[in-house]
Each structure stands twice: as structure tokens, then as C-alpha cells.
């Protein structure tokens, strides 16, 4: 029976994956910055059949407490099989309007928090001889995208860190699944940072018309179970990943013309 820790579990992909694992009878540790929304998801997961649920609300911008949070998560059920590092924040500002404060906040949540969790838990997983990190990046981590300079940078960085971790610790039984969503219908655009660091407050059309969180969770949990190295999640927008791989110049031209909202 799996024990799964999910960050960003109070909505969207995180919530949907929590529900999928609950239906399979997994033990769940759920983390989000909103204690109220998190408890709602935790109650839902208990009703769906999770064999145990622990809610650990936490603001991932507080990096000094990450080790304590990770220890509490590990101790909740005496170990963790899958750590789903899903929490994230986006933006809707061009380079000139993106303050360094905004870049740092995005990097703290999207990059430094998951890296800190992974560094803390890695020795414990090595000692057990098994464990898997499932890391939510984005197709914006595969090519630059307008109004996403900080967000895209954080997602590129995740690829570099976790691909390196996988190369170094594969033989120690540590797996990595990099989750690369395109347009999935979540609230990430509502909470994206606008000029001045205020929430964007709008569900972008691309998000609204994207794959449902439930359909995405089905793809993601299946990929994790199969030990996939990477899983692309979305619809026709995923073609850009392949265009970037084989025709980088064309990708650059297309990216300039994509409507970023």
C-alpha cells in the first residue's frame, strides 16, 4: 500500500491526484498553504477510501521550516513511497514589469521548496532502498513563453535538478517522474502574480478549455505507477514540445505568436 505526500494538494492537479490515490486506498499526506481548503480535500479523500490522511498546511515560501515539515511528513506513516512536488505559482507579467521580489517568490515556491524537500528526504529514501519523486514542471519549462519569465525559469530549473538527481541515485532505487502539463483546467491562472504582485484573478481561456484535472490525474498517477521518467499531460499544445526538440527555430517563432492569456 502506497504512502504518498502531495504538495499543492488543496486544488487542481494536486487535489485530483489525491482523490485518485484515495480511491486506491493509499495513505496520504497533504500539504497546501490553505488549511481550510486542505481539510476539505482531506475529508473528501477519507470518504473515497484512503487508508489514512494527514493534513500538513504550510507556506512553502518559508524555506527555513522545510526540514521540519519534511520530517513531520515522513513520520506521519513511518516513511513515504511517492513524494509529489506539485505546489506552484505562476505570473502574468513581462520582463520589465517583473520585479526581482516576484522572481524570488516564484523561485522559492516552484524551485527551492521542492529542492529542499528532496534533499531532506533523499537520505531517508536511500536508507530504505526505494522512493520516487514526482515533480510538476510545465511545458513552459521546455521553451520560453510570453509573460512567464520567472515561472518558466523555475520550471527549467526543476528539470536540471531532478534529472541530475535521477542520474546520480537511480542505482540506489530512487526514481523520478517529471510531470509536464500543458493546459489543464486549474486555478493556477487565478492566483498568478500580476504587476505589483497582485493575483491575476482570472481563469485564462487556455486554462478554462484545457484538460480537466481529473483526466490529468489519471494520466499522472498511471505514469508514476509505471515508473515513467517523464509524462506530458495535455492536448494539442503538447506539440510545441516536439517542435522545440526538432525545429527550435520554428518553436521560437511560434512562441512569439502564442496568446499568453
pLDDT in tens, 154-163: 999 999 999 9
Question: Nearest-CA neighbor of 119 among 161, 79, 59, 156?
Answer: 161
Which pTM value belongs to this model? Answer: 0.94
Please confirm, yes or no, whether 58 is among the known catalytic residues. no
Catalytic residue among 111, 151, 159, 242: 151
The C-alpha cell at 18 is 489525491
Least confident residue range of 123-127, 133-137, 200-204: 200-204
The CATH code belonging to domain 3-257 is 3.40.50.720
Res. 6: pLDDT tops 80: yes
Q: pLDDT tens for residues 31-79? A: 999 999 999 999 999 999 999 999 999 999 999 999 999 999 999 999 9
**Spatial separation of the C-alpha atoms in residues 239 and 235, rounded to whole Å:** 8
Percentage of the chain modeled with pLDDT above 70: 99
Q: C-alpha distances in angstroms, 207 versus 87, 150, 211, 231, 238?
A: 17, 19, 8, 19, 14
Looking at residue 207, its pLDDT comes to 75
Mean pLDDT over the full length of the chain: 94
Q: Report whether 162 contacts 225 (CB < 8 A).
A: no
Looking at residue 153, its pLDDT comes to 97
260 — pLDDT class (breaks 50, 70, 90): low
H or E element at residue 55 = strand 52-55
**Spatial separation of the C-alpha atoms in residues 16 and 181, rounded to whole Å:** 14
**Spatial separation of the C-alpha atoms in residues 178 and 212, rounded to whole Å:** 19
Determine the average pLDDT of the residues in 4-12.
97
Beta-sheet strands, E only, within 148-213: 174-181, 184-185, 211-212
Amino acid at each position: 500500500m502506497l504512502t504518498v505526500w502531495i504538495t499543492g494538494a488543496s486544488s487542481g492537479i494536486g487535489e485530483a491526484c489525491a482523490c485518485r490515490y484515495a480511491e486506491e486506498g493509499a495513505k496520504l499526506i497533504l500539504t497546501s498553504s490553505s488549511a481550510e481548503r486542505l481539510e476539505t480535500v482531506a475529508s473528501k479523500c477519507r470518504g473515497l477510501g484512503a487508508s489514512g490522511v494527514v493534513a500538513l498546511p504550510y507556506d512553502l515560501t518559508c524555506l527555513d521550516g522545510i526540514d521540519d515539515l519534511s520530517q513531520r511528513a515522513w513520520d506521519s506513516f513511518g516513511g513515504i513511497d511517492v513524494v509529489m512536488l506539485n505546489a506552484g505559482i505562476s505570473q502574468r507579467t513581462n520582463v520589465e514589469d517583473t520585479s526581482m521580489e516576484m522572481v524570488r517568490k516564484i523561485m522559492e515556491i516552484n524551485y527551492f521548496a521542492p529542492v529542499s524537500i528532496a534533499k531532506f528526504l533523499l537520505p531517508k529514501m536511500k536508507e530504505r532502498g526505494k522512493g520516487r519523486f514526482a515533480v510538476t514542471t510545465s511545458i513552459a519549462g521546455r521553451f520560453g513563453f510570453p509573460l512567464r519569465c520567472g515561472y518558466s525559469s523555475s520550471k527549467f530549473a526543476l528539470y536540471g535538478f531532478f534529472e541530475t538527481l535521477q542520474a546520480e541515485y537511480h542505482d540506489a532505487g530512487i526514481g523520478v517522474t517529471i510531470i509536464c502539463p500543458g493546459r489543464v483546467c486549474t486555478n493556477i491562472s487565478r492566483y498568478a502574480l500580476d504587476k505589483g504582485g497582485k493575483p491575476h484573478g482570472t481563469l485564462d481561456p487556455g486554462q478554462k478549455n484545457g484538460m480537466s484535472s481529473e483526466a490529468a490525474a489519471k494520466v499522472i498517477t498511471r505514469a508514476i505507477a509505471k515508473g515513467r521518467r517523464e509524462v506530458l499531460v495535455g492536448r494539442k499544445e503538447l506539440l510545441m514540445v516536439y517542435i522545440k526538440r526538432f525545429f527550435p527555430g520554428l518553436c521560437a517563432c511560434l512562441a512569439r505568436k502564442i496568446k499568453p492569456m
